[in-house]
Amino acid sequence: MGRVLLSLCFAALAAGTGLPGAAMAQDPGEPSPPAPTTITMTPGQLFDFADQARDRGDYATAEASYRALASNPDIEIRSEARFRLGMMLADNQRRYADAAVEFRKILDEKPKAGRVRLELARMHAMLGDPGGAARELRAAQASGLPPEVQNAVRFYANAFEAQKPFGYSVGIALAPDTNINRATRSDTLGTIIGDFTLDDNAQAKSGVGLALRGQAYFRTALGRKSRLLVQASGQGDLYRQSDFNDLILGGQAGPEFQLGRNRIYLGGAATWRWYGGTPYSQTLGLSASLRRPIGKRGQAQVELGLARDNNRRNDLQDATVASVSVGYDRAFTATSGGGISLNAIRNAAEDPGYSLTSGGTNAYLFKEFGPVTAVVNFGYSHLEADERIFLYPRRRTDDRYSAGLGVTLRNLRFGNFAPLARVRFERNVSSIEIYDYSRFSGEIGITAAF
């Protein structure tokens, strides 16, 4: 296995361990002290040294030793070092994000390490990301777990109830876009009384914006198998041309129930949107969802919603909105998976011309290539208005197509974060010129490195 040579720079390490070689203050007239001691250890000896430091609570020394072992050219040695480091960071220091990064490093090299993936799932749960935890559990099942580890999967799935009571996440990215207002490129609008000339703000505008995303949550137990979940979220697309700034803030609260393998959520929600710096809409509603594991690798979900939308700029667009969505996610292997969803929305507005019925589908596939994760997604939806708006020559019908590709580069980590790049194409084919548009957009930002 080779040997590990440690040149202990004791200002950082040995000063806290009692080992020889720590720097001492020296009188100018005294002879120079002996050179710092160099200790040579085998990997096995260094593992013992690190474990002893961990057990006596000297986590700085243990971490330095594990990280030295993690640079060993032998994949088994460095994987074991990262695993022990990750467990120490999680269980002894509660540094869950740092632990998740170490577990992800192992999986980048050994994607079928089922036990490691279970620990990564646990980190997602402790960080308040049950979706990420469930995804890693499905991947662990797909990797092929030994019988004695299968029982741990159920334990971790049930342990999601013990997630920490508060958490948050934030994201920021540069977002170039060829059509920031999703507008037509035509300079005229056909009506029953002739063509109207559209002003510049009603036509497609390109720009580079700042995309901001954030959410926070709080949960507390209501009973043995129920808890109250309160969530707040916000997103903003900000541009130099402030007339196109789009800001959305929302909150929701309600109980979650665990009934056998089913997770049920019932809640109320409120959303406020500002466009161009002025109020655009306010929405109040109710939602319900059901999530259930399907086999060892899949998960099905059903979501229902009912809301009242108050359009602050056009009372004729005030509407009651009902929605339903059915989806299925599956891990194909330990490093790949995908999902598909079907949705339908009924928007019953005050004016039949603005009343809309739509339905569509979205699908995604992901694949891990070592430290690189690629995600591709596709979408299609069809929309129809109840009646023709008086000025327009036709009733509105839309066919919307979208496709996107995202890449996360974990080999370029910055602490607990990694670069993320996305590109997206969107095309809406409409019978009404003002709704007919195409759009290329992108994002360059950072995301969690695990």
pLDDT computed for residue 2 by the predictor:
42
54 and 187 housed in the same domain: no
98 and 204 housed in the same domain: no
pLDDT digits (tens, 9 = 90+) for 242-294: 888 999 999 999 999 888 888 899 999 999 999 988 999 999 999 999 999 88
For residues 308-313, give the mean pLDDT: 94
Give residue 228's Cα distance to chain centre. Answer: 22
Predicted confidence band of residue 32 (pLDDT cuts 50, 70, 90): low
Residue 12 has pLDDT above 50, yes or no: no
Select from 162, 189, 212 the last residue of a domain: 162
Select from 103, 128, 162 the last residue of a domain: 162
pLDDT computed for residue 38 by the predictor:
65
Residue, of 112 and 27, whose pLDDT is higher: 112
Residue 211 has pLDDT above 70, yes or no: yes
77 and 195 housed in the same domain: no
350 and 225 housed in the same domain: yes
Q: How far is residue 14's CA from residue 273's CA, in Å, rounded to a whole number?
A: 57
pLDDT computed for residue 16 by the predictor:
34
pLDDT computed for residue 278 by the predictor:
93
Residue 51 has pLDDT above 80, yes or no: yes
Burial tier of 425 (Cβ tally within 10 Å: 0-12, 13-18, 19+): middle
The residues that bridge with 204 in the sheet, in sequence order, are: none
Select from 162, 195, 226 the last residue of a domain: 162
Minimum mean pLDDT range among 42-51, 339-348, 412-421: 412-421
Number of domains in the chain: 2
pLDDT computed for residue 195 by the predictor:
64
For residues 44-63, give the mean pLDDT: 92
The residue to which tokens 């709704």 are assigned: 435
The residue to which tokens 């040995």 are assigned: 14
78 and 122 housed in the same domain: yes
Predicted confidence band of residue 22 (pLDDT cuts 50, 70, 90): very low
Predicted confidence band of residue 426 (pLDDT cuts 50, 70, 90): very high
**256-261 own/partner pairs: CB under 8 Å, 24+ apart:** 256/219, 256/226, 256/227, 256/228, 256/229, 257/225, 257/226, 258/161, 258/225, 258/226, 259/225, 261/292, 261/293
Minimum mean pLDDT range among 13-27, 95-109, 339-353: 13-27
262 and 409 housed in the same domain: yes
Q: Taking the CB of residue 183, how many other CB atoms lie within 10 A of it?
A: 20
Predicted confidence band of residue 360 (pLDDT cuts 50, 70, 90): very high
| Strand (E) or helix (H) holding 281 | strand 278-294
For residues 104-117, give the mean pLDDT: 89
Residue, of 201 and 98, whose pLDDT is higher: 98
pLDDT computed for residue 405 by the predictor:
95
For residues 398-409, give the mean pLDDT: 95
Q: Which of 304, 358, 362, 365 is nearest to 330 (CA)?
A: 365
Q: How far is residue 110's CA from residue 113's CA, in Å, rounded to a whole number?
A: 6
pLDDT computed for residue 187 by the predictor:
67
Q: How far is residue 100's CA from residue 235's CA, in Å, rounded to a whole number?
A: 26
Q: How far is residue 304's CA from residue 288's CA, in Å, rounded to a whole number?
A: 5
User: For 238, what's the count of Cα atoms within 13 Å in the CB-facing half-sphere?
Assistant: 9
Predicted confidence band of residue 157 (pLDDT cuts 50, 70, 90): low
Q: In this structure, are residues 163 and 218 in contact, taking their beta carbons and an 8 Å threshold?
A: no
222 and 280 housed in the same domain: yes
Residue 413 has pLDDT above 50, yes or no: yes
Average pLDDT for the chain: 83
pLDDT computed for residue 319 by the predictor:
96
pLDDT computed for residue 266 by the predictor:
95
145 and 180 housed in the same domain: no
60 and 80 housed in the same domain: yes
142 and 199 housed in the same domain: no
Angle at 269 between CA 266 and CA 272, to 5 degrees: 165
pLDDT computed for residue 431 by the predictor:
92
Q: Which of 23, 65, 31, 32 is nearest to 47 (CA)?
A: 65
pLDDT digits (tens, 9 = 90+) for 185-199: 776 666 666 566 666
CATH, residue 46:
1.25.40.10
22 and 94 housed in the same domain: yes
CATH, residue 302:
2.40.160.40
Minimum mean pLDDT range among 204-208, 301-305, 380-384, 407-411: 204-208
| Sign of the torsion angle spanned by Cα atoms 153, 158, 164, 170 | positive
90 and 205 housed in the same domain: no
Question: What are residue 21's phi and psi, to 5 degrees?
Answer: 110, 0
DSSP character string of 298-366? EEEEEEEEEEEEEESS-GGG-EEEEEEEEEEEEEEETTEEEEEEEEEEEEEESSGGG-EEEEEEEEEEE
Residue 177 has pLDDT above 90, yes or no: no
Full domain range(s) for residue 155: 4-162
Q: How far is residue 123's CA from residue 120's CA, in Å, rounded to a whole number?
A: 5
For residues 79-94, give the mean pLDDT: 93
Residue 41 has pLDDT above 50, yes or no: yes
Q: In this structure, are residues 40 and 6 in contact, taking their beta carbons and an 8 Å threshold?
A: yes
pLDDT computed for residue 450 by the predictor:
72
